[in-house]
């Protein structure tokens, strides 16, 4: 889908190390992707009282009060990142990912959501790897028009890589969204998918990486539910201190427009910018099956810590998590009132 950008990416010399070249997301299209100028205007984060946590006494989140972000609590989301990071590196099939799976499942259930777990084996270049997808379901009045949210929770298998931003941040956002949404019932169902195996085991390709999303898209197609999904909102790498979300150019235009206009209305245009870039990610298997989809993802090549041991908790901003969550909540509201 975005083979060309890959070569451009290589040409641009952004690639830090071959091993993680396409580990998370395929590629970026424009040379402006790494231009840091558009982030310099960001105001410094205002530090608020950190939420206490026995595991992370140094926990420090800059999240605004939940009332200002539609009820989405950025401090709670930040604590979910801290919890995941404390489990250590969480590649598919590892002991730490089993702990993460237990955490995700118990959190989702504690919010009152029905949770479906799909345990499957993925055939990877390194052999068969056990994986688990989670699908939390909030019912609605009309089953034709499911609003699907999603992220991956596995981390790239690299030495000392704890993946605070990739994929701790977006997993945290989904958990906090679930806390908000599981107590609501709208016109349309809201399903929250948390995928295993987004990261490539060796080299990112059509068959290495996106194991969980490919599995879920195929499953939902088999049960006949996939055509009922009216929109898929994907989040990935959303917790950085000054993230730049570009309009992902393979995503469905009307849905990108809806998310970006929602962000603009809420005053988040500094984070949701008008530039575009192409990224391969977990929305691809859904796009291929004609599900309107959008990927909200940071300009990860510009972070400097993507797929390195520096992707640690100190890189995470509760404010960025809260803004992402707020935009998702408001977009869901708009989708609920859209036929």
Q: Where are the alpha helices (DSSP H) in 66-157?
A: 74-87, 95-110
x/- site string to Zn ion, residues 102 to 141, per CB under 5 A? ----------------------------------------
Question: Which range binds Zn ion by CB under 5 A, 21-29, 51-59, 251-259, 279-287?
Answer: 21-29
| Contact yes or no for 124/211 (Cβ under 8 A) | yes
| Contact yes or no for 295/248 (Cβ under 8 A) | yes
Provide the 8-state DSSP code for 56.
-
Contact between 164 and Zn ion by CB under 5 A: the answer reads no
Exposed / middle / buried, residue 150 (Cβ in 10 Å: 0-12, 13-18, 19+): buried
Q: CB of residue 141 vs Zn ion: minimum separation in angstroms?
A: 37
Contact between 295 and Zn ion by CB under 5 A: the answer reads no
Of the candidate residues 166, 281, 299, 311, the single one contacting Zn ion (CB under 5 A):
166
Q: CB of residue 306 vs Zn ion: minimum separation in angstroms?
A: 7
User: Which of 29, 154 has the CB closer to Zn ion?
Assistant: 154
How far is Cα 214 from Cα 200, in angstroms, rounded to an integer? 13
Beta-ladder partners of 131: 120
How far is Cα 127 from Cα 89, in angstroms, rounded to an integer? 20
Q: CB of residue 111 vs Zn ion: minimum separation in angstroms?
A: 26
Q: CB of residue 61 vs Zn ion: minimum separation in angstroms?
A: 23
Q: Which helix (H) or strand (E) holds 170?
A: helix 170-181
Q: CB of residue 2 vs Zn ion: minimum separation in angstroms?
A: 16
User: Which of 165, 176 has the CB closer to Zn ion?
Assistant: 165
Contact between 24 and Zn ion by CB under 5 A: the answer reads yes
Contact between 284 and Zn ion by CB under 5 A: the answer reads no
Nearest to 51 by CA among 28, 32, 69, 78: 78
User: Which of 168, 318 has the CB closer to Zn ion?
Assistant: 168
Contact between 196 and Zn ion by CB under 5 A: the answer reads no
Question: Which range binds Zn ion by CB under 5 A, 18-26, 118-126, 271-279, 291-299?
Answer: 18-26
Q: CB of residue 219 vs Zn ion: minimum separation in angstroms?
A: 23
Contact between 59 and Zn ion by CB under 5 A: the answer reads no
Q: CB of residue 95 vs Zn ion: minimum separation in angstroms?
A: 20
Q: Where are the alpha helices (DSSP H) in 36-94?
A: 74-87
Q: Which two tokens stand for residue 330?
A: 């408001």
How far is Cα 163 from Cα 170, in angstroms, rounded to an integer? 11
How far is Cα 120 from Cα 143, in angstroms, rounded to an integer? 26
Binding site for Zn ion (CB under 5 A): 24, 156, 166
């Amino acid at each position: 889908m975005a083979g060309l950008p890959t070569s451009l990416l290589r040409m641009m010399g952004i690639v830090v190390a071959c091993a993680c070249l396409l580990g998370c997301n395929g590629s970026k299209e424009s040379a402006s992707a790494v231009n840091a100028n558009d982030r310099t205007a960001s105001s410094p984060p205002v530090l608020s009282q950190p939420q206490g946590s026995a595991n992370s006494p140094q926990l420090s989140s800059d999240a605004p009060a939940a009332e200002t972000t539609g009820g989405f609590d950025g401090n709670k989301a930040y604590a979910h990142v801290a919890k995941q990071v404390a489990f250590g590196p969480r590649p598919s099939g590892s002991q730490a990912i089993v702990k993460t799976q237990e955490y995700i499942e118990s959190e989702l259930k504690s919010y009152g959501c029905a949770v479906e777990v799909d345990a499957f084996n993925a055939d990877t270049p390194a052999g068969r790897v056990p994986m688990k997808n989670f699908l939390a379901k909030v019912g609605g009045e009309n089953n034709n028009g499911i609003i699907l949210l999603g992220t991956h929770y596995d981390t790239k298998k690299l030495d000392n890589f704890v993946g605070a931003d990739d994929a701790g941040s977006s997993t945290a956002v989904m958990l906090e969204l679930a806390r908000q949404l599981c107590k609501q019932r709208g016109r349309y169902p809201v399903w929250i998918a948390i995928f295993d195996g987004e990261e490539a085991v060796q080299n990112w390709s059509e068959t290495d990486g996106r194991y969980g999303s490919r599995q879920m898209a195929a499953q939902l197609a088999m049960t006949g539910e996939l055509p009922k999904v009216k929109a898929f909102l994907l989040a990935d790498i959303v917790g950085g201190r000054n993230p730049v979300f570009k309009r992902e150019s393979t995503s469905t235009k009307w849905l990108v427009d809806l998310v970006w206009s929602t962000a603009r209305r809420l005053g988040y245009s500094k984070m949701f910018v008008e530039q575009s870039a192409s990224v391969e990610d977990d929305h691809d298997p859904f796009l291929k099956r004609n599900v309107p989809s959008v990927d909200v993802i940071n300009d990860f090549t510009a972070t400097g810590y993507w797929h390195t041991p520096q992707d640690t908790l100190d890189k995470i901003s509760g404010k960025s998590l809260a803004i992402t969550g707020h935009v998702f909540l408001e977009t869901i509201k708009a989708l609920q009132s859209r036929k």
